[in-house]
């Protein structure tokens, strides 16, 4: 994914300028030093007491000597200069002998501490007992326990629980809704001491072909990760029941199934660009056939009362 380049404003000075600066500083320090009186001034012979002119000449001599030494070092360095062939060989050897983690692995490790399992419970009208109503996914967007998920995951729930990456389980309450984007905001009652909020990223530069990953609990199994690409932008989707029309969606082909709803869609940097909300399947199977949809994170952040990028 294209990202604006960041540059450091600091520049390393050249070896020659470093040498000159070092020499000048040393000489200046000597010149500025106060005269040190002799231990027995009365026995000092005339003409041997150092004065400012003498110190100036000493400083000038030191500058010339240090410059000469540094120039000699630059012209005759102790270490031999590496050739481009030697550098290429060293790089090739490293690549052949070192196993590097894939971008998907880095993205998963970055987002995992912020992913939660969301379970909603309802009361069985026949038995009056609490039963599991639905399983979905959520993502922590504020380290105080503010979580984004899908509205359809928690609709009709008598109680909601969230399970954090470290295993801590907590009840949660709905604190915000955005029905037009199928979004709900949850607040957990208890949170881990080291809870990490996900990094959200603008979709302004998102483009078809960009690599993305969906992380969640498909069919309650997880956390699970699937990778793919952005297939399209500004898509529309009508829910199977025909009750909700969603617009301005990110289309992606990373596998998603029931249980992924509410989970993050992330870049290979592990930054959230969307909230997984729906899959397209014209059959009654309701399983993934290659087309998934996510609500852009700008909409999701607005649902939580956070300013857009």
Question: What's the CA gap between 255 and 292, in Å, rounded?
Answer: 8
Q: Which of 114, 120, 133, 152 is catalytic?
A: 152
Output DSSP code: residue 242: S
Q: Alpha carbon of 6 to those of 3, 206, 267, 292: distances in Å?
A: 9, 18, 18, 33
First to last CA, the chain: 18
Q: Which of 120, 133, 182, 253 is catalytic?
A: 182
Q: Are 182 and 246 in contact (CB under 8 A)?
A: yes
The answer to whether 76 is a known catalytic residue is no
The answer to whether 261 is a known catalytic residue is yes
The answer to whether 239 is a known catalytic residue is no
3-state secondary structure of 79: coil
Question: What's the CA gap between 121 and 260, in Å, rounded?
Answer: 17
Question: Quick one: the chain helix, strand, coil %, rounded to 5?
Answer: 30, 30, 40
Q: What amino acid positions are annotated as catalytic residues?
A: 152, 182, 261
């Amino acid at each position: 994914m294209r990202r604006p380049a960041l540059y450091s404003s600091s520049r390393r000075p050249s070896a020659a300028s470093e040498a000159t600066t070092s020499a000048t500083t040393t000489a200046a320090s000597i010149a500025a030093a106060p005269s040190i009186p002799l231990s027995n001034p009365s026995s000092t012979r005339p003409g041997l007491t150092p004065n400012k002119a003498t110190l100036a000449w000493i400083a000038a001599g030191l500058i010339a000597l240090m410059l000469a030494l540094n120039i000699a070092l630059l012209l005759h360095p102790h270490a031999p200069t590496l050739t481009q062939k030697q550098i290429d060989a060293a790089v090739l050897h490293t690549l052949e002998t070192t196993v590097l983690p894939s971008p998907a692995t880095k993205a998963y490790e970055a987002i995992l501490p912020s992913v939660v399992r969301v379970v909603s419970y309802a009361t069985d009208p026949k038995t009056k007992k609490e039963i599991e109503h639905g399983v979905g996914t959520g993502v922590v967007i504020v380290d105080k326990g503010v979580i984004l998920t899908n509205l359809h995951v928690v609709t009709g729930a008598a109680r909601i629980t969230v399970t954090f990456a470290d295993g801590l389980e907590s009840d949660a309450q709905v604190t915000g809704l955005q029905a037009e984007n199928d979004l709900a905001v949850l607040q957990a009652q208890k949170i881990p001491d080291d809870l990490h909020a996900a990094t959200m990223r603008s979709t302004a530069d998102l483009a078809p072909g960009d690599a993305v990953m969906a992380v969640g609990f498909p069919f309650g199994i997880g956390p699970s990760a699937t990778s793919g690409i952005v297939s399209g932008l500004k898509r529309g989707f009508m829910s199977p029941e025909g009750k909700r029309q969603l617009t301005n969606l990110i289309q992606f082909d990373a596998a998603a199934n029931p249980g992924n709803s509410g989970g993050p869609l992330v870049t290979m940097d592990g930054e959230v660009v969307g909230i997984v909300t729906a899959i397209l399947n014209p059959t009654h199977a309701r399983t993934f056939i290659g087309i998934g949809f996510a609500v852009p994170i700008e909409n999701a952040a607005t649902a939580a009362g956070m300013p857009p990028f």
